[in-house]
Every structure is written in C-alpha cells, then in structure tokens.
Amino acid sequence: MARKKTPKSADAAPVPAEVTLQPITDTIEKNYMPYVMSVIVSRAIPEIDGFKPSHRKLLYTMYKMGLLTGHRTKSANVVGQTMKLNPHGDMAIYETMVRLTRGNEALLHPLIDSKGSFGKIYSRDMAFAASRYTEVKLDAISAEIFRGIDKNAVDFVDNYDNTMKEPVLLPTAFPNILVSPNMGIAVGMASQICSFNLAEVCDGTIAVLKNPELSTDALLDIIKAPDFSGGANLLYDREAMRRIYETGRGNVVLRSRYSYDKEAGCIDITEIPYSTSIEVIMKKITDLIKAGSLKEITDVRDEIDLNGFKLTLDLRRGVDPEKLMAKLFKKTPLQDSFSCNFNVLIDGSPRQLGLRGIMDEWIRFRMDCLRREFSFELERKKEKLHLLEGLEKILVDIDKAIRIIRETVKEKDVVPNLMQSFSLDETQAEFIAEIKLRHLNREYIAQRIRETVSLKKEIFDLESLIASERKLKNRMVKQLEEIKNTYAQPRKTKLIYDDFIEKYDEKSFIENYSVKLVLTKEGYFKKITLPSFRMSDEQALKTGDEVMQIEEAENISELLFVTDKQKIYKAKACDFETKKSSVLGDYIPSKLGFDDGERVMAMKPIEAYEQNHYFIYIFENGRGIRVPISSYETKSARKKLVNAYSDAAPIVSVFYETEPFDILLVNNAGKGIYIHSSLIPEKATRTAAGATLFALKEDQKIIYASRTPEKHYSGFEKCRKNKLPAIGIAVTKK
C-alpha cells in the first residue's frame, strides 16, 4: 500500500513524496530469515561429519597441500591457502586451526599435529603464538577423516568465486561428531556436543550396526558417559545420562582432580572441568578469601609448566583437605557442569538428536559414502576390464595391429583403422594405439589379459557388496574395529558415583556456639555471645526505640525475618558479626536489602522446619491465620520469599507457635478479645486471607496484638473468648 505525503506549509521539513508500507512479517521473511539460515547452516551448527564449514575448509586445504604425509609447514602458509575456500580474515582462520591442534589440548584426538605455542584450552590468558612462528601438518587420524574422498565418496561444490571445488561434507570413517567436542551459537539456537571416548563410540556403533533394536540401557553399558580432553571426574548419574542419550539435552557435572601433599601442606589441582579455566577458578577463590569465606587457604598459585596443568592451594595448619575440597566444589568452578544440547544439521536442516539418533544418522551417511566409494571403484574396474577385452582381440594377430599402425598414413586414421579391423570401440582402440612399441608383444599382452579373471571376480564382489546392506554394514564394522585398534586410548574423564562423593556440610566449617539474638522495633539486630550478654543485659538503643524480641539460638541457626510487605528474608546467624550490648547493631533493612519503607515485623531462628510449628498472622481487618513453617522451606538457598502471607489487609503482628498460647487483640475502639491460639484456623496456602477472629464494625480495625498483654493492658482476662468470631469487651490501657 502507498500514500502521498505533502508538507503542511512552506517552512515544513521536506517529506518524501511516497512512503511504502510493508508488514513487519514480510520484512523479517525477506531480510532477516536469510541471515538467520545463513548463520545456522553456514557457520555455527556442525553437520553429521562433526565439522562446521570453517573446520572443513581448513582441513581440506591441508589435505590438498599434501600435509597428511609430508613435513610440517608454517601455519601462515595454511591460513593463506585456506582463504581460497574461506573468505574470512587470517586471524579467524588461524583461531579455527588452533583449536584443532595437539598443542591446544581441546580435542581427545587432535586432527592437526603442531609445533610451537598454541595456547591451552584450560587457560584463557595463555595466548597462541603468531602463525608465522608455528608449524602444522595433519595428524595420522585425519587419514580416517578423508578416507574415500578421492573416490567420489561425497559431493563437491564450487568455492565462493567458482575457481575450485570443495567437499560438502568429509567422509569420516568413524563418528567424529561424537568424538570431537563442538560448540556453536547461531540465531535462535545453539549447539553444544560433548566428546565421547573413541573406543566406546566405535564399540557402540558396531553394536548398533549388528543390532538396530539396541536399547538405550545397552548403549549406556557400552558408551558409559562423555570423555573430555581435560580429564577430571564426572559425577555419574545414570538417569541423567539416559535423558541425554534419548533427548540430546541435559547437564553432566565435572569435578576437578587433585592430590594432597601432606609435607608441603598444600593441595595440587591437576585436572579441571572442560567448561572452565584456571583464571576463572583463581578469581573465584581469591574473591572468597578476600570476603573471609575461605580462611582455610593462605595462598593460591598458578604452577602450569611443561609438565602440564597445576593449580596449588596452600592450607593453614590443621585443615582437613577432604572437607575443604568439598567446600570448594560447592562454591567455586572447581566443580562445573557441561550443558549438552545436541543440535546437528541433517541434510541442511537443524535437528536436535539424542546419542542414538546421531549414531543412526551417521550410519546412514557413512553407508552412502561407502556405496559411492565402491561404485567409483566398480566403474574404474569395469573401464579397465573393457580395455583389456580390447587388448585380447588383437592378441590373435599382433602383427596385423602393428602393420595397421605402421602403414596408416595419417595419425588421425590410426584409431578408426584399428576399430574397423578388430571390431573395437574408440576407447579400446585409443588404449591400444597408446601402448609402447616394446609392449606390443605376445608375452606382455597375454600377461595383461590374465588380469581379466581376477578383475571379473573383483567386479562381481563389488556389485554384490553395493547391492547388500548387510555386507556394507560388515565393511563398516571392519573399518571401525581397525580404527579402534589403531587410535583408541583409555578414558581421561573418570566416573565417580554418589557413594564416593564427599558431601559439603556448611555447618562443619562454621564455628558453633550459643548466642542471644536481639531485635528492636526500629529494625536493629544484634548477635551477642552468652558471656557478653550476661555481663550487660541493658541494650543500647536509639531514642524512642525499644527491644521487640530476644531469642536464644546457635551461630549456625537459620534466621527468618518477616516484614510488613508480605516477604520473608532468610539469613544465617553466622552471617552477622558478634556485637556487644553497648552498640546499636546491624540495621536489618540495609543488611538484607529491604525495599524502601519496608520494616521488620518479627524474627525467628530455625533449626528445622517442623510440621507442627506455625507462623500466626494477625491483620487489621480482624482476620488471622496459622501457616505451617514447613511452607517456607526451600530446596535452594533462597534469600527472599515473596507472597509469604496475604496482602488483603495490613499486618498487625506475627507470632511463632510451637505450643498454643493466649493472645490479646485490641481494636481502635478500646475493645479487646483474649483468645487461645489453637482457635485460629490453619491454612496450608500461604496467601490465604484467614478467618475472622474479631467481629469489627465498619470503621474499626485491630491496632494491637500481643501474647504478653500485661505490659500494656489490665483487665484483659474478662475478654476471654472460646468461640470465633467474637465481639470485643472494653479493656483498660496502662
């Protein structure tokens, strides 16, 4: 649709004569979607051969340069040659190369043999040397990546400027997609494929080839879990592993490997999770030391050298190394998780597959490669047989063939004359005409003809092989067994089970002792040791403030602070420093991050979330409710709970009930009811409005609720009520 726009006055800014309106959906479809698909298909998501386009172009360039068998060459040479296929900057190509090298240690089976400094996967600060200083060639296992590529095993397409050909995929003879880890972020999707042990992958693929109905449990027994080049330990959870194998999504938890040097009083970390780096770990440990949370460690040092990875932690005397490591695993990236997201391009379309799905797709792909490779060999052998059959025809009269060649006046007539004299086709006649004169003898020709017997047998075998899926699978099995026997290596990542894991118990690291907790109406809080509290029980307070609660607890107790904004804040008594009675203490709204105007209504130390313990809430509208304390128990270490109770009316008071007690409620008309807490109904839903306790008139509200009313009122005993809701009786305020 179009519309004309004209200026309203001569002074108005010029307006385009015509504006075209286009639906945003059309704009996305025409302009954005091609970019999205380009990133997904041509950059970020690996295909079934286990490579992204950048990897494939680099490796094929090295293959064409003869670096599979020759000497190493400067990395700069490879980068320059790769630009013929990959129109990107030299640094982007070089960074792709770095990750594939033996020196970088990112892969279980490096595809590039390297010399020089290529950095390390476990360090983000160890930079690789410039490409002019390093040397590379293809590693031996790369021969299996290119097996059959010169025999039409895969399709080839033109490069970006149509000057040469490049493979669409590489005909990997083993499931490289599962052996080499791969990560990529596209638009709207990402891929994170972890690596598995080559021997286990070969065995698992062989098992699937022999039994297409192989169950996930049987596959789990063969391919036990991912295997990472950095080693470390994997916390094995069979059910979690099953989900990854079936869906392609899930997390595997990796834990660093360490040793304790008793004489030196230090812990040496020798392997860390694949998903982190030494700099990240050191920063987190250093931050915890500065915050006073890691008093057990006196120093942390990077001791990486030519012998490999090493991170050293110096310990204070008397520290239990096992307990300390349990703490570090909980609080630092020394224990980290690898998030699996098996997105793979299949026939140009992204698909999320489980382990078995990837193996099935790779088997389909590899069988097609083998079928094409054997078809190529079959055609070559048929062509050779055809030529030898022509050679056989001249064996009956070699002299005639020589005479025809010798007596033919024009060169262009040699082939037609041979064709006519011996009933040959043009290809056969060309082959005979090109034979050297010294070979035009009966012995040579008879020897060549004898090859036809073996050649016919080979052709028959190839035709039956191509036509039989079972024979193709047997050939794949044989190749996988050869690869396993040649390149397999033991697992680097060890599996550990729950029974052998040292559990982190935060309480074991906290010095425990009895304390008194003091909370004032203005929100000031003090944790006081018992000896200090006995010396002076008179508390320093701001003018107009008063003590609201004094509770006994332990230093490891969990504290719940209930506010007037339907929130409960959680903290630990050990989070607060001990104070003396002569100081004001910590201001809770600032300490716990209250919202503006939010104030604390009650505080309670909790040892356990008992079923028969309750929070009792009394509201201005005369309603009340008992909520089980178990309703506030959380699995994670949450610091703030919202919607802790109903927001239907402002809160007046909060009580903690372990045993029933009496409560006096007083309204703004000076009337009160004195009730037993057991009369207040229990509700499992935290935000329930509760039941009416005090029958109020329209302009009345509750202004006071206390379990110790004798401090402020007299004559309240006459207000006792045994049924609810109840009408108030006048009380006398002291």
Decide if 171 contacts 369 (C-beta within 8 A): yes
The whole-number average pLDDT for the span 70-75 is 93
Residue 535 neighbours by CB distance under 10 Å: 11
Q: Could you tell me which residues come within 8 angstroms of residue 14 by beta carbon, excluding any fewer than 6 positions away? A: 7
Binned at pLDDT 50, 70 and 90, residue 437 comes out as confident
Residue 414 has pLDDT above 80, yes or no: yes
Half-sphere exposure of 53 (CA within 13 A, CB side): 19
The whole-number average pLDDT for the span 665-690 is 91
What is the distance between the alpha carbons of residues 667 and 731, in angstroms, rounded to a whole number? 10
Q: What's residue 267's pLDDT?
A: 95
Residue 7 has pLDDT above 70, yes or no: no
Half-sphere exposure of 280 (CA within 13 A, CB side): 16
Task: Give the phi and the psi of residue 212 in degrees, each rounded to 5.
Answer: -60, -20
- Which of 115-119, 188-192, 527-531 bottoms out in mean pLDDT, i.e. has the lowest? 188-192
Structure tokens that stand for 686 in this block: 């935290």
Binned at pLDDT 50, 70 and 90, residue 506 comes out as low
Quick one: three-class SS letters along 129-198? CCCCCCEEEECCCHHHHCCCHHHCCCCEEECCCCCCEEECCCCCCCCHHHHCCEEEECCCCEEEECCECH
Catalytic residues: 133
What is the distance between the alpha carbons of residues 247 and 186, in angstroms, rounded to a whole number? 20
Look over the chain and give the mean of its residue pLDDT values, rounded to a whole number: 89
What is the distance between the alpha carbons of residues 235 and 397, in angstroms, rounded to a whole number? 79
Residue type, 491: R
- Which of 229-238, 333-342, 399-408 bottoms out in mean pLDDT, i.e. has the lowest? 399-408
- Report the Cα–Cα distance between both ends of the chain, in Å, rounded: 81
What is the distance between the alpha carbons of residues 437 and 445, in angstroms, rounded to a whole number? 12
Residue 40 has pLDDT above 70, yes or no: no
Domains of the chain: 51-171 (3.90.199.10), 257-333 (3.30.1360.40), 370-487 (1.10.268.10), 510-607 (no CATH), 608-734 (2.120.10.90)
Q: What's residue 293's pLDDT?
A: 82
Residue 561 DSSP SS3: strand
Q: In this structure, is the dihedral angle defined by the CA atoms of residues 275, 276, 277 and 278, taken in order, positive or negative? A: negative
Residue 501 has pLDDT above 50, yes or no: yes
User: Pairing mode, if any, of strands 182-185 and 190-193?
Assistant: antiparallel
Indicate the pTM of the whole model. 0.73
Q: Could you tell me which residues come within 8 angstroms of residue 593 by beta carbon, excluding any fewer than 6 positions away? A: 569, 640
Task: Name beta bridge partners: 702.
Answer: 667
Structure tokens that stand for 76 in this block: 């700069």
* Omega of the bond leading into 725 within 30 degrees of 0 (cis): yes
Binned at pLDDT 50, 70 and 90, residue 336 comes out as very high
What is the distance between the alpha carbons of residues 340 and 194, in angstroms, rounded to a whole number? 7
Task: Name beta bridge partners: 731.
Answer: none
Residue with tokens 């100081």: 583
The whole-number average pLDDT for the span 90-108 is 94
Residue 343 has pLDDT above 90, yes or no: yes
The whole-number average pLDDT for the span 81-92 is 91
What is the distance between the alpha carbons of residues 472 and 153, in angstroms, rounded to a whole number? 14
Residue type, 520: T
Residue with tokens 């028969």: 612
Q: What's residue 306's pLDDT?
A: 86
Q: What's residue 5's pLDDT?
A: 44
What is the rounded radius of gyration, in angstroms, for the C-alpha atoms of the chain?
41
Structure tokens that stand for 202 in this block: 């070969």
Task: Give the phi and the psi of residue 351 in degrees, each rounded to 5.
Answer: -140, 140
What is the distance between the alpha carbons of residues 546 and 558, in angstroms, rounded to a whole number? 24
Residue 311 DSSP SS3: strand
